[in-house]
């Protein structure tokens, strides 16, 4: 089976993050209501990994998206739109025999009982991704490789590909994995493979609700016990915020210069942010031979939500952006919250992020001011938003 050669490190890489996965054309309703009642839809794009790539590029990073689309008009639209955000799409492959996936959704929140999504992705071009047809040189060309559990659910070949990409080998970039459990994709399947893939990764994002639904694991500490291997584990806790477990992990996992650069024992990861964040403490490592974890909890922001779609991808992008910049753990989480707040205050999956200096000022607020922030529609547009002074 073709695969990446050992030692294919990219020390002189010009790409910060490579995101691999399916992107689809999404049709957004013109008004609230059942899909059966909505008279028209506007066209957009949607896909966890491409959303992360677009957000990172919009934030000033060098991002690439690797995927597979049909040789059709929807594929053209996806590639052109994603490239329009500044993302490198040169490694996207076109499949003349399979279509680009599409889906329709209602305007309600994903967690609402009335929310509807109609997917037309079975047999899509992306579902044909496999260890034998992806461009490994481009996939491993970044400092970080970002993946998600959605890809693993698309087909047996896609799962085999993720197992290949998360395998330990010299020269592997730092692997970021967002569990992204989607129950409808795992009907009749075994979502425990997401736990396997997470354990093979360096940086993992998972929601408490996902862990309970997919694996029957309840609580952040129990999730860490089940995932002792990742050097950084980000447990998203909804309105309660996020808890980060960070600690050195032995082994060759990400052994190139890019991977080592982000190690939790470096100045950029432990630093003042971990020490000053509310609830930070050291705990014993979950596995034998592991260094004690630093546990950092950062409260969520108060946000006037317009649409709760795409926030998880935006959070991952904000956290990765701050990681690339070498910021301390607390600020990585805060930048994740801020990027998520930008998306939560617009109707679609993507939006312009706040200017970097604006986000940096907000991320640097003291704990009291951070806890009093309330962000609403339009907050990213101001040079200095009222929220920086209106914290009561």
Backbone angles phi, psi at 119, to 5 degrees: -95, 140
SS3 20: strand
Report, as residue numbers or ranges, the catalytic residues. 313
- Running DSSP on this structure, what letter comes out for residue 180? -
- Inter-residue contact 64 to 142 (CB < 8 Å): yes
Taking each helix axis as running N to C, give the angle between helix 48-58 and helix 73-84, from 0 to 180 degrees, rounded to the nearest 10: 30
Give the burial string for 218-251 (b: 16+ CB within 10 Å, else e): eebebbbebbbbbbbbbbbbeeebbbbbbbbbee
In angstroms, the CA 90 to CA 9 distance is 20
SS3 240: helix
In angstroms, the CA 45 to CA 243 distance is 30
In angstroms, the CA 175 to CA 315 distance is 17
Q: Let me know if 192 is exposed, middle or buried by CB neighbors in 10 A (0-12, 13-18, 19+).
A: exposed
- Inter-residue contact 16 to 62 (CB < 8 Å): yes
In angstroms, the CA 153 to CA 129 distance is 12
Give the β-pairing of 15-20 and 63-66. parallel
In angstroms, the CA 307 to CA 315 distance is 15
- Inter-residue contact 23 to 45 (CB < 8 Å): yes
If we measure between CA atoms, which residue out of 303, 317, 301 comes closest to residue 367? 301
- Inter-residue contact 101 to 151 (CB < 8 Å): no
- Running DSSP on this structure, what letter comes out for residue 2? -
- Enumerate residues 6+ apart whose C-beta is below 8 A from 99: 70, 72, 74, 123, 124, 125
């Amino acid at each position: 089976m073709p695969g990446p050669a050992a030692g294919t490190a990219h020390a002189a890489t010009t790409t910060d993050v490579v995101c691999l996965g399916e992107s689809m054309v999404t049709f957004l309703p013109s008004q609230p209501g059942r899909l059966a009642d909505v008279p028209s839809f506007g066209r957009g794009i949607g896909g966890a990994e491409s959303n992360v790539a677009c957000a990172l590029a919009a934030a000033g990073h060098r991002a690439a998206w690797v995927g597979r689309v049909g040789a059709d008009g929807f594929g053209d639209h996806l590639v052109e739109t994603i490239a329009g955000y500044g993302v490198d799409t040169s490694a996207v492959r076109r499949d003349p025999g399979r279509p680009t996936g599409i889906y329709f959704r209602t305007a309600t929140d994903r967690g609402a009982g009335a929310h509807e999504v109609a997917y037309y992705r079975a047999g899509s071009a992306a579902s044909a991704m496999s260890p034998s047809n992806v461009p490994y040189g481009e996939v491993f060309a970044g400092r970080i490789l970002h993946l998600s559990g959605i890809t693993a659910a698309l087909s047996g070949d896609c799962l085999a590909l993720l197992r290949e990409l998360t395998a330990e080998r010299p020269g592997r970039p730092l692997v970021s994995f967002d569990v992204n459990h989607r129950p409808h994709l795992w009907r009749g399947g075994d979502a425990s493979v997401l736990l396997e893939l997470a354990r093979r990764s360096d940086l993992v994002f998972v929601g408490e609700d996902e862990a309970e639904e997919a694996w029957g694991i309840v609580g952040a500490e129990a999730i860490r016990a089940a995932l002792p291997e990742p050097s950084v584990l980000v447990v998203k806790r909804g309105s309660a915020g996020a808890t980060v477990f960070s600690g050195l992990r032995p082994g060759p996992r990400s052994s190139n210069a890019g991977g080592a650069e982000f190690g939790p024992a470096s100045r950029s990861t432990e630093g003042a942010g971990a020490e000053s964040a509310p609830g930070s403490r050291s705990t014993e490592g979950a596995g034998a031979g592991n260094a004690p974890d630093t546990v950092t909890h950062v409260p969520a922001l108060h946000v006037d939500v317009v649409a709760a779609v795409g926030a998880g991808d935006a959070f991952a992008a904000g956290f990765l952006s701050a990681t690339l910049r070498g910021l301390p753990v607390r600020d990585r989480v805060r930048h994740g919250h801020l990027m998520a707040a930008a998306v939560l205050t617009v109707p679609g999956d993507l939006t312009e992020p706040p200017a970097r200096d604006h986000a940096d000022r907000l991320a640097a607020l003291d704990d009291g001011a951070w806890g009093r922030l309330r962000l609403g529609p339009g907050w990213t547009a101001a040079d200095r938003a009222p929220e920086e002074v209106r914290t009561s």
